[in-house]
Amino acid sequence: MATVLIIAGGDISSKLPFLRVESPCPALVPLNTRPLASYVIEYYRARHDVHLFVDKEFCADVTAELAPLRHGYTLHGVQRGQGVVDTLHQAIDCVADATDIIVNLVTTIPVADPDMNEVQGGRLPVHSTTAWSALSLGQDHEFHFYAKGDDRPSESLAFTGVFRLTADVLKRAIPFVASRKDLLLVVEQAAQFCQLTLKEVEWIDCGHETNYYRSRAALINSRSFNRLRVDTSRGTIIKSSSDREKLSREVSYYQTLPNQLRVLFPRLVSVSGGDGQVDSYEMEYYGYPNIAEYLLYWNLSKDNWWRCFDGLHATLSFFRQHPASIGPASYQNFHWKKTLDRIEQYLSLLEPSLRDSLMNASLQICGERHPPLSELLVGAEKVITQGYREDEFSTVHGDFCFNNILYDVASGVIRLIDPRGSFGSSTTGTLGDRRYDLAKLSHSAIGHYDYMVNGLFHVSHVGSSSFDLEIGLRANAAWLGEMTRWLILEQKADAREINVMTALLFLSMCPLHADDDQRQLAFFLRGIQLLNQSLL
């Protein structure tokens, strides 16, 4: 086991001027809906002792976003120095007992553990400039180092900021480094004390404007286990899965969409498979952020958010222009029977006393008393049962949450991804309850799902039937609640029905998050809170 030093000192906001981020701390630069540091920590934490180093002034921000105990790392605040070498120097002092050290700049998402004395380099774009430090290995196996701005041969590799050395070598090398702003100089000095090796890896670099969006696509390719593959030369994304039935439903959804609605989705380019089953399909790739990313990490004005919600209103109105009928049995099975089955599935996994508390006790959540869930479900069933109306059914997306809505803040264009493809087991295709799309939107905007799924919460069991649930809400939370309530009204939907459906979403999603029992409990408690509020 090595000691991993994730170096995230200073402020790199000037290198990424197009991002309207809340915090200039490099560890909190967003990529999709997560900060960069979370990707690096997640990669190493199962195998190594992980430490993150940020300027002291950012420690509170990082703790709020990435609780160290929950995410499995140690956070250190360091004095802001003249550059990255000063941060590394302080980092080594903080882990005095370490002998085997992996250094990883937070702006590089790792793809492979370096071996001892290994330096990792990445292939540069064909028409790259000299903006990056670089290195190469000559025919005599001698290292050649190139500082930013230096001419370098075409076969040189960009220095990724990832390498592995003994603590002794690092301590001997750092005093000889003249410039404190280039980590490659540490490696160059280390070469005087050990035999280095160079390994070429895929460089997922998020620290430079020219690489950031390229790295979004590269991250999909490196982490999707071949389920998703972006082809940037064609501008497409290829999706595959061992679940051929699910892929078939998704393809069927796209192919049977009314022509007027197809423009709302990336275009289906090709489908591969046989025997009536789909192995993979290819669609247009859009690099727009999804709305969850704007929610969590972009500093958008209220006017910009209103523009987005006007677009969501128009999108849902387009769907509503294509009415349908699904029948009361499909409606009841989807909204009610599925929910009860999943609640039972989750509760069955808990130890008996907690299970009994969550189902039958009058719970206190954040100091507020709630009726037992068993009683709340009686009221919810009445709302659902009485909510069957033929005019509520149409073509739907089926998973209309922030994470599945791509939005270009410059143009206002909205594109939808990952439709559900079915409304329960008996109703496959594009049809469903249009209120379910509103509930999915509400579970992001009012229920705060995106905060919770990205770990921005803390839940604790403080008594036999008493719990605390804290969610790290952004300043835009009140705006989004206001806009969602406006949208529900504009869509001429029953707000109480939407609120009940939103609460049931949280209760029913727990079995789908079995990898994190804290998140499951947080979802369940949030569902009880929302259900109680909706039935008052």
pLDDT tens sequence across 6-20: 999 987 766 676 666
Tokens of residue 383, six digits? 């709302």
209-236 pLDDT, tens digit each: 778 877 877 777 655 445 888 888 899 9
Residue 147 pLDDT:
85
Query: Counting runs of H as helices and runs of E as strands, what totals does the chain give?
Result: 19, 25
pLDDT tier for residue 31 given thresholds of 50, 70 and 90: confident
Whether 368 shows a pLDDT value over 70: the answer reads yes
Identify the burial level of 153 via C-beta atoms within 10 angstroms of its C-beta, where 0-12 means exposed, 13-18 middle and 19 or more buried: exposed
> For the residues 494-510, what does the mean pLDDT come to?
97
Residue 224 pLDDT:
47
Length of the chain: 536
Distances (CA, A) of 299 to 35, 213, 266, 352: 15, 19, 27, 45
Three-state secondary-structure class, residue 55: strand
pLDDT tier for residue 284 given thresholds of 50, 70 and 90: very high
456-493 pLDDT, tens digit each: 999 999 888 999 999 999 999 999 999 999 999 999 99
The topology under which CATH files domain 291-535 is Aminoglycoside 3'-phosphotransferase; Chain: A, domain 2 (3.90.1200)
Whether 188 shows a pLDDT value over 80: the answer reads yes
What CATH number should be reported for the domain whose range is 3-205? 3.90.550.10
320-366 pLDDT, tens digit each: 999 998 889 999 999 999 999 999 999 999 999 999 999 999 999 99
Whether 422 shows a pLDDT value over 70: the answer reads yes
Whether 397 shows a pLDDT value over 50: the answer reads yes
CB 500 within 8 A of CB 383: yes
Distances (CA, A) of 526 to 167, 467, 475, 522, 529: 46, 11, 20, 6, 5
Distances (CA, A) of 212 to 15, 161, 220, 274: 10, 16, 13, 38
Three-state secondary-structure class, residue 470: strand
Residue 225 pLDDT:
46
User: What is the C-alpha separation between 42 and 50, in angstroms, rounded?
Assistant: 10
User: What is the C-alpha separation between 263 and 267, in angstroms, rounded?
Assistant: 7
Residues with Cβ within 8 Å of 39's Cβ and at least 6 positions away in sequence, in order, are 31, 109, 219
Between the two ends of the chain, the Cα-to-Cα distance in Å is 54
Residue 3 pLDDT:
97
CB 10 within 8 A of CB 84: yes
User: What is the C-alpha separation between 307 and 313, in angstroms, rounded?
Assistant: 10
Phi-psi region of 327 (alpha: psi -120 to 50; beta: other; left: phi over 0): left
Three-state secondary-structure class, residue 289: coil
CB 199 within 8 A of CB 112: yes
- According to DSSP, residue 77 is labeled E
- According to DSSP, residue 18 is labeled T
Phi-psi region of 185 (alpha: psi -120 to 50; beta: other; left: phi over 0): alpha
Whether 101 shows a pLDDT value over 80: the answer reads yes
**DSSP letters of 358-392?**
HHHS-EEETTEEE--HHHHHHHHHHHHHHT--GGG
Distances (CA, A) of 475 to 20, 150, 253, 301: 14, 44, 37, 11
Please state whether the predicted TM-score (pTM) of the whole model is above 0.85. yes
Residue-wise burial string across 59-88, b where 16 or more C-beta atoms lie within 10 A, e elsewhere? bebbeebbbbeebebebbbbeebebbbbbb
Query: Residue 488 carries which side chain, given as an amino acid letter?
Result: I
pLDDT tier for residue 501 given thresholds of 50, 70 and 90: very high
